[in-house]
Amino acid sequence: MQDLIAAIAFAMLAVIFILVPPLNETPLRIVFALPLIFFIPGYVFIAMMFPKRGDISNIERFTLSVGFSIAITVFDGFAVSLTQWLFRPNSISISLLLLTIIFAALTYIARRRHLEEDQFTFSVHEFIESIRSDDENIPKKDRIPPEIEKALIIALVGSIIIAAGMLAYAKVTQEEEQFTALYILGSEGMAENYPTNASLDDPITVTVGVENYEKQDVNYILQMRLDGEVIQTVNVTLSDEEKWEDDLTYQPEQIRIGRSKLEYALFKEEVLSNPYRSVHLWITHDYSAEYLQELAEEEEKESPDILQVLENYDMEQNTGWSFETTDTNVNGTYVEGKGIFDSQAFVFKLPYERKLPFYNDQYYDISQNIRSDQKGTVVLSLFVKDTYTQSIGNGAETQLKQILINNILVWENGIGGNDDWQHVYLPIILNDGNNLITLRSMQKGNTDVHPVEILWDEVIILPISEFSPYVSENGLLEFDLPRSEMLPLPIRVNTTDFEVQWNGTDIGSGIDHYLVEYSSNGTNWQTWLSESKGTSATFTGIEGNSYYFRTQAIDGAGNWEIAHENPDTNTTIDLTGPEFELEISPNPSNGPTLIIVRSEEPLAGVECLVTTNDFQNQRSKVKMTSDDSYIWSGYFVASNDNTYTLEVTATDLAYHQTTAIDNLIVDTSLEDLILEISEKETANDVKIKITSSVGLKNDPTIEVVRNGKYILLSGPEIKDNTYTYQTNINSSISDGKAYVYVTVYTVGSEKLTINGDFIINRN
């Protein structure tokens, strides 16, 4: 099957070299075109007719391939000439490629019906040998039957006769073609190197030519159009075979964003909806940053006063803008809560979800005149949004957002994609006097459209000196808002001068500066730094006051971060030391002791040093911990009788320190637990006191039982190392002896118990 693959591949290469520039301008075009016309289709066709090895000799296969290729090409050319594609290089070459592929597929099927060793395969060596050898060397059983050979010869001769007849008929019946040639030439008088960019100081000039071959005199109307708008009309009358050429210049009157279609449309006798001939160029209106900078510098030198404020520029009123539409089914209105800043915006509501029932384009405009004292370049800044969020393929946009200055289109964008708010930022030219600014929504007639809302807001005219270098090619200013945050401050600082730090991020232009504000209550904000380029500064406050801070980033494109509702960080200036209570329980102790520090303000840390009051003067450190920074505790266990000095130092959040000193007496002869019952015999409630000479891990566990029933208790009240409980004896408790069981755990996890009793007697 390699011969079939090679034939298809060669045919594809031939099409490429015939049609694709610049390959079609090389001599290889002829090298590939000739086999496509005179051999490839016929070879694949004969391979389909004779799929078996030995059906015909190689020389016969070659001869038939050439003959049938000529026949196939003639018939194919005649058939194609009857279609809309006519007899053209592209149509004939592509159709021959398709026929080659079809014949190759049928050949593959035909060969598969035979054993692999019987299938025909092309070999250069076998082909040469077959030319050298005589037909007599071919086995008789493998020779083509005479009747088939005769039929092939007749078919080949017949095809050639029919093809020749068709050519003769076409020659005899050919009518001389009537047409008009319209062409454009570049700067060197050739059909190449066309201009692609236009600006105010560099207009586009193109040579336009018209040649009349209509066999009669014709009055031509030539229109130069930009994006469908006629900007120049030329009337030309030509006799048959007369030629007209002239240079037409396009001088921009307005700065445009994006690509524009500069079209030269030719009409005969009268202007109709569709031109008789048309050629066009795609051009841009690029203005370099250097050019706009020069305009800004000139503005500063001359200080022109051409700026006027648009009425109702922020759409907060219901006046100022005039609404017009070609579609009476659609209205535009001001809507509260739809604006870029949750304020009011002007909204077009386009309701259709089908093919638009109009053949003409539909327009929905709001417009306003603005007066300028002289001609000059300014910046138009506005926000626009559409609510359609689905993607639309390139070239398929049928609903557009447009901006026009003095009825000249300067910006256009489709509704496809989830654009959200777009910040349009355009350099525009205002003429001396009144200038019409139009914000338009457009739907192309007789096309499929979708329901969508288009919103306009914050339309502002700015001096050209404020033009941003961060405007994209489609006229949109970077609109990714920057973000910033402040580094947390300590809750308290111990100085009136302290450092405040912040940072931020931005996609695109980067952060230009920060606005840093402070407040004494977190709600009423004052500016501290209005245009800080740095990310830290020293703030000076007043002792005892609290201060709150927040930052707002502004990027190079002029986008402001949304102001933070809550403070980013805060602190209090505190120059005093912390106040706290030191509690040692129990004291005296017979060993394990609980040390507690209580403070009215949070503490950064507590350090406790214990020193023996003897000649050894040994010192140890007690680990102090806290769950809330207000109450700190630690355990100290003494192994022998002695008096100890406790030195406790508390550090507040401003890093001020206060030290307290107290003594701990340790007497190992003290009883571990003492149980005291206020009454040995009672008709009412009793008080139960438990005193520990060692530090306890938790409150004591106490049970009071009478005849299998538990007596309720309230408490404990704790003072030093004494725990006091109150019984609640009700009528369900009978008279008699009640038993008290006490269990405690020391700080060293040692279990201690003590029991007692009292008599209940209500008689």
Q: Which of 111-125, 456-470, 533-547 has the highest mean pLDDT?
A: 533-547
In degrees, rounded to 5, the angle at the alpha carbon of residue 373 between the alpha carbons of residues 367 and 378 is 65
- Dist. CA 429–CA 204, nearest whole Å: 19
Look at residue 402 and tell me whether its pLDDT is greater than 90: yes
pLDDT band at 158 (very low <50, low <70, confident <90, very high): low
- As beta bridge partners, residue 659 has 649
Side-chain half-sphere of 445: how many Cα atoms within 13 Å? Answer: 8
Mean pLDDT over 459-474 rounds to 84
* Percent of the chain's residues with pLDDT above 70: 88
3-class SS shares of the chain: helix, strand, coil, % to 5: 20, 40, 40
How much is the mean pLDDT over the chain? 85
pLDDT band at 500 (very low <50, low <70, confident <90, very high): very high
Per-residue DSSP letters for 281-305? EEEE----HHHHHHHHHHHHHH---
Look at residue 288 and tell me whether its pLDDT is greater than 80: no
Phi-psi region of 629 (alpha: psi -120 to 50; beta: other; left: phi over 0): left
- Dist. CA 5–CA 9, nearest whole Å: 6
Query: Of 433, 466, 499, which residue is a domain's last?
Result: 466
Query: Of 572, 596, 624, which residue is a domain's last?
Result: 572
Whether 324 and 453 map to the same domain: the answer is: yes
Pick the more confident residue, 439 or 327.
Answer: 439
Inside any domain, residue 371 = yes
Decide if 119 contacts 53 (C-beta within 8 A): yes
pLDDT band at 651 (very low <50, low <70, confident <90, very high): very high
Whether 87 and 66 map to the same domain: the answer is: yes
- Dist. CA 512–CA 556, nearest whole Å: 5
Task: Please tell me the least confidently modeled range out of 386-390, 422-426, 472-476.
Answer: 472-476
Give φ, ψ of 748 to 5 degrees.
Answer: -90, 15
pLDDT of residue 144: 55
pLDDT of residue 134: 43
pLDDT of residue 152: 60
Inside any domain, residue 739 = yes
- As beta bridge partners, residue 582 has 597
pLDDT of residue 552: 96
Nearest to 682 by CA among 714, 742, 728: 728
Pick the more confident residue, 488 or 64.
Answer: 488
User: Two tokens at 644?
Assistant: 């100890």
pLDDT of residue 164: 59
pLDDT band at 107 (very low <50, low <70, confident <90, very high): confident
Look at residue 518 and tell me whether its pLDDT is greater than 90: yes
DSSP SS3 for 608: strand
If one counts the domains in the chain, the total is 6
Inside any domain, residue 472 = no
Mean pLDDT over 9-23 rounds to 87
Look at residue 390 and tell me whether its pLDDT is greater than 50: yes
pLDDT of residue 448: 83
Whether 145 and 14 map to the same domain: the answer is: yes
Domain hosting 496: range is 483-572
pLDDT of residue 555: 92
DSSP SS3 for 613: coil
Query: Of 523, 550, 572, which residue is a domain's last?
Result: 572
- Dist. CA 582–CA 598, nearest whole Å: 7
Q: Which of 158-167, 458-467, 563-572, 711-720 has the highest mean pLDDT?
A: 563-572
- Dist. CA 538–CA 528, nearest whole Å: 11
pLDDT of residue 37: 85
Whether 26 and 99 map to the same domain: the answer is: yes
In degrees, rounded to 5, the angle at the alpha carbon of residue 257 between the alpha carbons of residues 364 and 334 is 30
Q: Where are the beta strands (DSSP E) in 336-451?
A: 345-350, 362-372, 376-386, 399-405, 408-414, 422-430, 433-443
* Percent of the chain's residues with pLDDT above 90: 39
Whether 550 and 689 map to the same domain: the answer is: no
Whether 606 and 718 map to the same domain: the answer is: no
Inside any domain, residue 92 = yes
Whether 432 and 540 map to the same domain: the answer is: no
- Dist. CA 40–CA 96, nearest whole Å: 9
- Dist. CA 546–CA 541, nearest whole Å: 9
Whichever domain contains 643, its CATH number is 2.60.40.3340
**Residue 266: DSSP 8-state:** E
Alpha helices in 174-237 (DSSP H): none
Q: Quick one: which H or E segment has residue 630?
A: none
**Residue 105: DSSP 8-state:** H
Inside any domain, residue 425 = yes
Look at residue 293 and tell me whether its pLDDT is greater than 70: no
Nearest to 47 by CA among 90, 108, 2: 108
Inside any domain, residue 244 = yes
Whether 529 and 604 map to the same domain: the answer is: no
pTM of the predicted structure, to 2 decimals? 0.52
Look at residue 442 and tell me whether its pLDDT is greater than 50: yes
Nearest to 286 by CA among 249, 252, 248: 252
Whichever domain contains 543, its CATH number is 2.60.40.10
Q: Quick one: which H or E segment has residue 554?
A: strand 546-555
User: Two tokens at 100?
Assistant: 């080659």
Inside any domain, residue 566 = yes
Look at residue 84 and tell me whether its pLDDT is greater than 80: no
CA distances (Å), origin 145, targets 14, 60, 381, 639? 36, 13, 87, 127
- Residues belonging to the chain: 763
Other CB atoms within 10 A of residue 414 CB: 17
Alpha helices in 577-728 (DSSP H): none
- As beta bridge partners, residue 637 has 592
pLDDT of residue 154: 67
Whether 488 and 587 map to the same domain: the answer is: no
- Dist. CA 207–CA 195, nearest whole Å: 11
Whichever domain contains 731, its CATH number is 2.60.40.1220
Inside any domain, residue 369 = yes
pLDDT of residue 211: 93
Whether 562 and 588 map to the same domain: the answer is: no
**Residue 59: DSSP 8-state:** H
- Dist. CA 62–CA 74, nearest whole Å: 19
pLDDT of residue 60: 77
Whether 12 and 94 map to the same domain: the answer is: yes
pLDDT of residue 393: 67
Task: Please tell me the least confidently modeled range out of 151-165, 174-188, 656-670.
Answer: 151-165
Mean pLDDT over 578-603 rounds to 88
pLDDT band at 223 (very low <50, low <70, confident <90, very high): very high
Nearest to 646 by CA among 596, 611, 694: 611
**Residue 580: DSSP 8-state:** E
Whether 662 and 681 map to the same domain: the answer is: no
pLDDT of residue 489: 93
Mean pLDDT over 388-417 rounds to 85
